[in-house]
Chains A and B, each alone.
Chain A
Amino acid sequence: MAHSAGKYIFGYAASLVLTAVAFGLALTRALAPGPLVLALILLAGCQVLVQLYFFMHVTEGDGPAFHSAALVLGFIFTFAVVLMSMWIMTFHSQVA
C-alpha cells in the first residue's frame, strides 16, 4: 500500500544522492565535457523518474494509464524541440 512514509523517505534520499553525484561530477570535472554532459542528463533523467514514481504516484490511479502515455509523448516532443532546435540553429545566423 502506498500510504507509508518509507517510499517518500527513499525517494528523498535518492534525489539527494543523485543531486550530489551530479554536483560532484560537474564541479570536479571528473569526465571530459562530452561524457560529462551525457552523464548529467542521465542523472537528471533518473531524478525525473524518482519524482514521478515516489512523489507523484504516476503508476496509481483509475482506468488506463493515459496520463503516462501523455507524459511519454511529452518527453519525446520535449527532447525533439530542444535537440532539433539546437541542430537547426547550429548554422549561427548571428555572431555571438
Chain B
Amino acid sequence: MAVIERELTQPAQHPERESPSHHESGHLPPEYRDHHQSVRIFGFWLFLATDMLLFACLFATYLVLKTHTDGGPAARDLFDVPGFSAETLILLTSSFTGGLATLAMRRGHQKQVLGWLVATMALGLCFLGLEVKEFATDVSAGATMQRSAFLSAFFTLVGTHGAHVSYGILWMFMVLLQVARRGITAVTARKVFIVNLYWHFLDVVWVFIFTVVYLFGVVM
C-alpha cells in the first residue's frame, strides 16, 4: 500500500501518450516498455480480478449446494483420484511451460516462445481430454447435471473452468500465429505476457477446484 500512499501525494510519472519515454524504462521488462502496452496489461489484471469474483460466486454456489444430492451420486462416489491427480499435474506443468514462454519472450528468442506456447497448448489439450473423459464417465453412470443441485453446481463450476481453458488454447493459438509472423515486438511481447497471465490464473483457479471440489469431496 505504500506505493499508493506515494502516488496520492506525488505527481504521476506519466509518459505522454505520443512519446513513450523509452530512455528511462530500460530496467522494465519488454512488455511494459511501451505505455500503450503497459496500460493494457493493467486492464488485464483488472479483468482477472473480475473473473476471480465470477469464480467466487460459482464456488459459493457449489459449496452451498454440495450436500444437495437428492439421493443421487455424491462427491465421494464420483471423484476418481488418479484422474484428477493427472489433470492437476498436467495443468501445473502447463503453467510452468507457459511461464517459460514468457521467459523466452523476455530474452527475445522467437523460436523458443513458439515452442513453449505449443507445449502449453498441447498440455492444455491433454487436460481438456481428461476432463471430457471424466465428464463422460460421470454422465454414463447417471451423474448428469440435471440429476441434482450438487451435480448442476459441480458441472457448472468445473465446466466453466474447462471453457476458460478451451478459450485460452484458441487465444494462445492466435498469439502464436502473430509471434510467428511478426517476431517479438512491443505488441506481441505484451500479448504473450497477457495470454500467459490468463493461463496462470486458470491454474490458480484449478488449485482451488482440486482443493475445494475434489480433495474436500474425497475427504468429507
Contacts and interface: CB of A to CB of B under 8 A. Distances in A.
Contacts of A15: 92, 95-96
Contacts of A41: 211
Contacts of B61: 85
Contacts of A52: 204
Interface stretch (B39-47, B131-139, B160-168, B171-179): B39-47
A82 B52 contact: no
Interface in A53-83: 54-57, 60-67, 69-71, 73-75, 77-79, 81-82
B64 interface: yes
Interface residues of B, number: 65
Given A64-B4, A77-B56, A96 B67 contact: yes
Nearest to A73: B49
Contact of B68 (A11, A67, A94): A94
Interface size class of A (residues with CB under 8 A): 35 or more
Contacts of B6: 64
B216 A51 contact: no
A23 B220 contact: no
B216 A55 contact: no
A52 B99 CA distance: 11
A44 B25 contact: no
A23 B50 CA distance: 29
Contacts of A81: 53, 56-57, 60
B99 A62 contact: no
Contact of B218 (A26, A54, A55, A60): A26
Contacts of B35: 62
B219 A26 contact: yes
B103 interface: yes
A52 to B, nearest CB: 8
Given A54-B99, A69-B1, A96-B70, A40 B211 contact: yes
Contacts of B12: 63
Interface of B: 1, 3-4, 6-7, 12-13, 25, 28-29, 32, 35, 38, 41-42, 45-46, 48-50, 52-53, 55-57, 59-61, 63-64, 67-70, 81, 85, 88-89, 92-93, 95-96, 98-100, 102-103, 106-107, 196-197, 200-201, 203-204, 207-208, 210-212, 215-216, 218-220
8 contacts: A15-B96, A44-B211, A48-B207, A51-B201, A74-B53, A78-B53, A82-B59, A96-B70
